[in-house]
Amino acid sequence: MSYDEDLANRLREALAAEQGITEQRMFGGLAFLVNGNMSVSASRSGGLLVRVDPKEADKLVGADVEPMVMGGRQMTGWLHVAPQAVTTKRQLTPWVRRSVGYARSLPAKKR
């Protein structure tokens, strides 16, 4: 399954005013990077992958939000948000802001 093009377009719209954003296909999804650091992604399995402060991740897990697991291993500081939890701009925007804010707190990656 490929990523949701509509969600990718909605992410582009949410990130339009941000500086230093690049797109990159990764792991079958479409990732948005902030100064070279992966921030948020339209997941190939549907929904959203968001990078958050690892100290806050457990508090954000809920009915439609779970820790991201890749290759059988839980990825610290990464969450998968179910498609039904990001259907509106009001639902999507806080996740984008949180992930961009955290990615901006990291040192920029050199290219």
Q: Three-state DSSP class for 33? A: strand
What proportion of the chain, given as a percentage, has pLDDT over 70?
A: 98
Looking at the chain, how many residues does it have? 111
pLDDT, the chain, mean = 94
pLDDT level of residue 27 (50, 70, 90 thresholds): confident
Q: Which domains does the chain have, with CATH numbers?
A: 5-104 (3.90.1150.30)
Average pLDDT over residues 95-111: 92
Pair 24, 36: CB distance under 8 Å = no
E strand or H helix at 7, and its extent? Answer: helix 5-15
Average pLDDT over residues 22-39: 94
Q: Three-state DSSP class for 10? A: helix
